[in-house]
Structure 1
């Protein structure tokens, strides 16, 4: 009986795409390595692309193969990811072909950082990752879950892993949203060893999901001798999850924020999501309250109408008024609007200045009571206004020495 031809295929090729490639590898019995490269940048990068392919085939001890590459200007880390995904369909190997880790992606996670915005990027669409950090979202989410087709999830892992190693995020928090269940546990092995800073856990309904993810992260960190923290952000997307909100926030010391996903939540309770959001008010307040009780950040859902900037602006203002401290976004044009409307406004800053100034004056005079005019000011109020000013200073809205500046 004639042996069946073994072919591995990975990647995307479409005239509308850029920054990606499609690779087909056919193992042969003889003939050595034959590379057929069709690339829009062939004249400039043929030698480097072919050298990368040769190096990878040697790494995996493949001596005879026909390789067809349809390239649309993919970066080397994308070509390497597509090659490895195709090879994984042909041979069993635990080896990973890893390109060098860039230095800027080795900084550690920061617990108490600003998380006004997080930009979702589909994990199997590398062209969206190119220079994504330049948009200055507080976080960049490389998504392995809803934005990736089921048939493409495995090869997306290689893209996300390589992006964590090779893509410059320009200071944005490096986030990955994993899949649910066993698939999400497998995702962790592709991202935990490669300087991910925060893992988003989707569709969490009880603390057991968090505990399972945390235990697997701990095993991987131990195996790879990883010292840096990996933070967690659960996403609640069902009625049951809402009812267990505080239990979920308290499931791990590494949870620094929790988000709500309103598209799935409204589907779960059988209603249509509206612009005003009356149908989700209870759920959103439950999440806000649970987060503030656990001293973590409350993160609102994405706003899906990309073209409606005015509606987004009103949505962010309403979100902030409810107690949320950030939200997801699906397009870079949303980032600026989100930042401007979550930031303290002039009225809030002036109020904070007056209260904090009264606090310092009382302290300088040795008074045990803080008052502003005829009103007594409690310690929690002062603490909240101090946070407002710290955030305003971080955003460059007030100077570090604002008291001296204002007095002069």
Structure 2
């Protein structure tokens, strides 16, 4: 289960070296916003070499390439695809055609280099066009395993102020979650950018989880623990889910059509939520 995804600048050798020790489920080696045009080539090589010579067994590796309206994205893929990253993050994904173009070139690079598996894609949706096309993007290609909301660029595109409360991206958050769930894939929320505001971080993460997001990105190692905690099932949730599954099993054995637990009828949605809770807990090692 992927709860936290931490951005690491592709030109920061120190953070690259320690990427799997920062506690995040996934790390995003960023070749786009974090790297100036003059440093694109060197950052690309640095990331490639880090993946080639270091063992990142403790976390998933995602590469944020440059957007397809630049001259850099194909060079990014040429270098990193042979290293077999877990996912490619495509920034400024505005249409299904953007994803299809990248997927097509990824296939060419994989075949050329003898890569024996498809690298997944996570479109980063950070424009009004992308938000409105979220479902089409989510279903554009079989490589798409999740979609991701980028709040900073989105609010710039919307010409509004980015706030901690996030009212300005409420619609976009809902649209992203709805599109992802309809497509049967995961949805990841934008980072909370105030490194010092731990209370604000927790409130923002809990709100995102309440909307249905699978996890949340971070820009600082200081935020990882909180995000992992918020997006992990609690001991009480796991206990209740186990009770639900046990009582359903008993009801089936006894031929009962209706059953209650703690004074509440147990219906199909409750059973499904219990199943999801236990699945998440198992993937995180919380239960066997």
TM-score exceeds 0.5: yes
Report the secondary structure of 1:280's partner residue: helix
* Correspondence for 1:324 among 205, 209, 213: 213
- Map of 1:218 onto structure 2: 107
Does the aligned pair in 2 maintain the 1:206–1:247 contact within 8 Å? yes
Indicate yes or no: 2:121 matched with 1:232.
Answer: yes
- Which runs of no fewer than 5 residues in structure 2 stay unpaired? none
Offset at residue 375 of structure 1 (A): 5.0
Does the aligned pair in 2 maintain the 1:134–1:170 contact within 8 Å? no
Matched pairs, number? 285
Please give the alpha-carbon distance, in whole angstroms, between the structure 1 residues aligned to 2:118 and 2:248.
Answer: 36
Please give the alpha-carbon distance, in whole angstroms, between the structure 1 residues aligned to 2:9 and 2:84.
Answer: 19
- Map of 1:173 onto structure 2: 60
Please give the alpha-carbon distance, in whole angstroms, between the structure 2 residues aligned to 1:377 and 1:244.
Answer: 37
Please give the alpha-carbon distance, in whole angstroms, between the structure 2 residues aligned to 1:168 and 1:186.
Answer: 23
Q: Where do residues 246-257 of structure 1 align in structure 2 (5 Å cutoff)?
A: 246-257=135-146
Does the aligned pair in 1 maintain the 2:107–2:118 contact within 8 Å? no
Going from structure 1 to structure 2, the CA distance change for 1:280 and 1:343 (only over 3 Å counts) comes to same
Indicate yes or no: 2:148 matched with 1:259.
Answer: yes
- Map of 1:118 onto structure 2: 5
Please give the alpha-carbon distance, in whole angstroms, between the structure 2 residues aligned to 1:321 and 1:300.
Answer: 12
Please give the alpha-carbon distance, in whole angstroms, between the structure 2 residues aligned to 1:371 and 1:252.
Answer: 42
* Correspondence for 1:289 among 178, 194, 200: 178
Q: Aligned-residue CA RMSD in angstroms?
A: 1.6
Offset at residue 394 of structure 1 (A): 3.0
Rg larger for: 1
TM-score, length basis structure 2: 0.94
Please give the alpha-carbon distance, in whole angstroms, between the structure 1 residues aligned to 2:280 and 2:119.
Answer: 24
* Correspondence for 1:377 among 266, 269, 278: 266
* Correspondence for 2:79 among 177, 182, 190: 190
- Map of 2:131 onto structure 1: 242
* Correspondence for 2:166 among 254, 277, 283: 277
Tell me the alpha carbon deviations over residues 19-69 of structure 1, each in whole angstroms, 9 at most, x when there is no partner: xxxxxxxxxxxxxxxxxxxxxxxxxxxxxxxxxxxxxxxxxxxxxxxxxxx
Offset at residue 370 of structure 1 (A): 4.7
Structure with higher RCO (Cα < 8 A, 6+ apart)? 2
Tell me the alpha carbon deviations over residues 205-261 of structure 1, each in whole angstroms, 9 at most, x when there is no partner: 100010001000111111122112311100100111110000000001111111000
Please give the alpha-carbon distance, in whole angstroms, between the structure 2 residues aligned to 1:128 and 1:263.
Answer: 23
Tell me the alpha carbon deviations over residues 365-395 of structure 1, each in whole angstroms, 9 at most, x when there is no partner: 344x352257543334312211101212333
Please give the alpha-carbon distance, in whole angstroms, between the structure 2 residues aligned to 1:302 and 1:203.
Answer: 16
Indicate yes or no: 2:16 matched with 1:136.
Answer: no
Does the aligned pair in 2 maintain the 1:165–1:195 contact within 8 Å? no
Q: Which structure is higher in helix share?
A: 2
Please give the alpha-carbon distance, in whole angstroms, between the structure 1 residues aligned to 2:169 and 2:231.
Answer: 20
Does the aligned pair in 1 maintain the 2:146–2:187 contact within 8 Å? yes
Offset at residue 157 of structure 1 (A): 1.0
Please give the alpha-carbon distance, in whole angstroms, between the structure 2 residues aligned to 1:210 and 1:308.
Answer: 35
Indicate yes or no: 2:46 matched with 1:159.
Answer: yes
Going from structure 1 to structure 2, the CA distance change for 1:365 and 1:279 (only over 3 Å counts) comes to same
Indicate yes or no: 2:96 matched with 1:207.
Answer: yes
Please give the alpha-carbon distance, in whole angstroms, between the structure 2 residues aligned to 1:217 and 1:396.
Answer: 33
Offset at residue 294 of structure 1 (A): 0.7
Report the secondary structure of 1:315's partner residue: helix
Please give the alpha-carbon distance, in whole angstroms, between the structure 2 residues aligned to 1:380 and 1:227.
Answer: 39
- Which runs of no fewer than 5 residues in structure 1 stay unpaired? 1-113, 401-408
Does the aligned pair in 2 maintain the 1:358–1:370 contact within 8 Å? no
Please give the alpha-carbon distance, in whole angstroms, between the structure 1 residues aligned to 2:31 and 2:18.
Answer: 19
